Structure formats: structure tokens, C-alpha cells
Amino acid sequence: MSDSILQHDVRHVWHPYTQHHQAPSPIPIARANGSWLFDTTGRPILDAISSWWVTTHGHCHPSIVSAIAAQAATLDQVIFAGFTHEPAAALAAALVERLPAGLSRIFYSDDGSTAVEVAIKLSLQSFANDGRPRRLIAALENAYHGDTFGAMAAGARGVFTHMYEPLLFDVARLPDPSEGDTLTALDALIASRGHELAAVIVEPLVLGASGMRVWDEAVLQGIRTRTAAAGVHLIADEVMTGFGRTGPMFACGRAGVSPDLLCMSKGLTGGVLPLGATAATETIFDAFRSDDRRKTFFHGHSYTANPIACAAALASLALFTDECDQARARITETHRQQLASLQGTAGVRAVRQIGTVAAVELDAPAGYLSDIGRELAAFSLQEGVLLRPLGNVAYCLPPYCTSNAELDRVYDVIARFLEGARAAPIGSGGPVDD
């Protein structure tokens, strides 16, 4: 079976974030369960990164699988313009119950990047609809918000975006809160260009793709205070941080902050099906109510609020029980203990953690294309653990069902790599392409 998969793959498939001229053959995965992936030979691979940060309760969770099957047999898809259905309406109500106060409207999309596009467009058009157009967006240095054009524009300029820079709109940059004075810079921006500023977009409390850079809750609170006073929207990109990753359901809740717009995806369906959502305040929603049809929000996706995906999300939300809270607390504490043992180890520049997200910054050339990340990825796969370092930053962001013994296995792989263990020679192309 694996031979036929690879034959078709090499001839016809284009993989994300992959340099096909150099990359080795991908690993064919046949099934998954809990924290484990199984290739077509039956070899188990521990999923220490929740398959790109999406899998919350574990792979193939029976409650979510059952909800998907039942919904697929009842209503698979319907246009969401002019129609509605129970899974979408119930999910919107369930999300509003759990979101920071003031977020009362849910606009569905397909993924994290499109949820960000929706938030930016809602902010800009709401000001225009009110007759006071603002065109400026502010974002953090080292941010990542997705790979569609608006999301790329809000993200940091770098290897992901340099090919498209002439086509990206200008964004006011604020210092990365993990290394600079964001609030002083925001004060200066509001003083000079506040009349132009529509929104400030942030990844609350942790900048993910730039290396799991953790930042202070007080800074997020300060951003909220300043934007609210200036009548500027705060957009919280919780695509990665949402659904318990930082401790509470949303990172904004950890800081006691209510944004004007909040973007969700990844863990929204438990990581089983693609679905995005953007939450907005009633004030923003009201800016689109008008007898003038030109003030409509002209945005939508073919699969907006797909009933099966919404059913999966409802089933996932139902799994956020006291037991899930305890599991996340256990993972958080295990991370803390393991990182403490790595702190100061030869080859470790820094360790950092927030909730179930843990990172080890390796003492090697920094940047997403750092070779040490490919080396660690190769070694960990050889040892049956899926890690995908962000350059020289290795991170562990596991499903909540992951046991302490499984976490110990992840950290043992990292420790042995630091002690000098390496994968078999792989040539110049590297094991996992960036």
C-alpha cells in the first residue's frame, strides 16, 4: 500500500512548506488514535505537535467521530446565505458562552487565515460604514497570521512573505512584546496616526510561528486599555492559543481582556475538520445594519458553516470538562518540570512555556531556516516522535490526552539529541523541508 501511495504522491501531490527538489519522500500515515499516528507498516509515531497545533482531545476521538457520522447522514451541506441549520446556530451560541465578554456574533469561514481576513475586513468596513474611514492596521513584529494576502500583510516580513511584498498593504509595526516596549510605541502611534488606525492585531500572549515567544499579560492589558480609549479595534488572533492551549479557554481570558474581534480555527473542531470563525461585538455587527445594501459585508465561502464541521466543533466543545481541565493542568506541570531540567543544559539557549505550549530554544543559528531544526526533526522521527522545530526552536504542543510517560518520551528525544545523538546521514536536502 505504501508504495502505491508514494508513487501517486511523487507524481501528483504538492505539499505545503516543502522544497520538493530536496525533500525526502513523505511518510504515509494509515491511521491515528489518541496521541499516536501509525504509518502503513504499523510503526507508531507520537504526535507531539498536535499535527500542526490542531488536535486537542486526541486523534479519532469517538465522540467527535460519532457526531460527524450522525450529521453526515442527516445534512451534509447547505448554502449559508439565506439558510441556517442547528449545528451552526448551536455552535455560535456555545462559543459566545465561552468567549470573552462582549463578543456576541460569529462569522464562519474555513481556517485560521480566512478568519483573520474576515476580522481585518470587518474592522475596516465597519469604520467606512459609519462614515469615518480608517485604513491603517497595526501588528506586532515577528507575528504570523496566515498565508492569504491580508493575513500575510499583517504578519512579519520574512522568508514566508518576501516574494509577495510588493503586493502587501503597509502595516504599522509595533515591537515584539517579548523583546521590546510595545506600549510606548503604541502610544506614539496613536498620538501621530490614531485618526487613521482601525485595528491592532495580536497573537495574544505567545507569538507562535516565530518561535513560541511568550509575552506578558500586562502588555496585552495595556494594548486593550489604549485601543479602547482611542476607539481602535483590538483583533485577537487565537487560532493557535484558543481552546485551552494557554490554560483557560482563550488566552484573552487569561489576561482578563475582551477584544473587539477574535479569530478561531485549529482546535475549534478538535482538529478533525477545517473550520474557521471570527467573533465580533454587537457594535461592529450594527455598523453593517443599513437600508443601504452597499454596507453589506460582501464576504463568504462555499463551505461557510458546513454542518458536519459545526457538529464536530460542538462535540469538541462538549469535551472541555473538568477532566479536560485536569489533563491540561497535568501537561502544564509536566512541561514545567521537564523544562526546568533542560534549563542551563549545554546546547540550550532558553526555555519558555505558557500552558500546554513548551519551547526549547537551541543554541544554534536562529531563524526558520536554521539547519538544526531539520536535524532534530529527522532524529525525532527516527525515534518515533513527531517534532517540527521552528528553525532553532523545538516545541511540544501535544493533544490533551497525552500521558506523562508519552511526554517523558518527547523530552528524552530532545535530551539525547542535545547530548549528540543524530539521525542517519540524510544528505544535503534534509529530512523535513522548511
Q: Are 180 and 116 in contact (CB under 8 A)?
A: no
**Percent residues over pLDDT 70 in the chain:** 97
pLDDT of amino acid 16:
95
The confidence band for 425, taking pLDDT boundaries of 50, 70 and 90, is low
> For the chain, how many residues are written?
434
- Given a cut of 90, whether residue 196 has pLDDT beyond it is yes
- Given a cut of 60, whether residue 427 has pLDDT beyond it is no
Annotated binding residue at 12? no
Q: Is 144 a catalytic residue?
A: yes
Annotated binding residue at 300? yes
Same domain, yes or no, for 269 and 400? no
Sheet holding 172-174, edge to edge: 103-109, 276-281, 261-264, 233-237, 197-202, 136-140, 172-174
Q: Is 17 a catalytic residue?
A: yes
153-158 — which CB contacts under 8 Å span 24+ positions?
154/116, 154/120, 154/201, 156/210, 158/368
Same domain, yes or no, for 291 and 361? no
Q: Write out the residue range of the structural domain in which residue 49 sits.
A: 1-60+321-419
Q: What is the C-alpha separation between 286 and 383, in angstroms, rounded?
A: 54
For residue 173, give the CATH number of its domain: 3.40.640.10
- Given a cut of 90, whether residue 157 has pLDDT beyond it is yes
pLDDT of amino acid 3:
85
pLDDT digits 0-9 by tens, 172-184: 999 999 999 999 9
Annotated binding residue at 266? yes
Q: Is 395 a catalytic residue?
A: no
pLDDT digits 0-9 by tens, 12-44: 999 999 999 988 899 999 999 999 999 999 999
Mean pLDDT of the chain: 95
Same domain, yes or no, for 84 and 154? yes
Residue at a domain's end among 287, 319, 351: 319
Same domain, yes or no, for 338 and 240? no
- Given a cut of 50, whether residue 429 has pLDDT beyond it is no
Annotated binding residue at 52? yes
Give Cα 173 to chain centroid, integer Å. Answer: 21
pLDDT digits 0-9 by tens, 274-331: 999 999 999 999 999 999 999 999 999 999 999 999 999 999 999 999 999 999 999 9
Q: Is 164 a catalytic residue?
A: no
Residue at a domain's end among 268, 303, 319: 319
Residue of 266, 303, 400, 411 marked catalytic: 266
pLDDT digits 0-9 by tens, 43-73: 999 999 999 999 999 999 999 999 999 999 9
Same domain, yes or no, for 283 and 294? yes
Cell numbers standing for residue 218? 500586562
Q: Tell me, yes or no, whether 426 lies in a domain.
A: no
Tally of domains within the chain: 2
Residue of 237, 260, 368, 400 marked catalytic: 237
Q: Tell me, yes or no, whether 257 lies in a domain.
A: yes
Can you give the pTM of this predicted structure? 0.96
Residue of 47, 108, 110, 144 marked catalytic: 144
Residue at a domain's end among 272, 299, 319: 319
For residue 346, give the CATH number of its domain: 3.90.1150.10
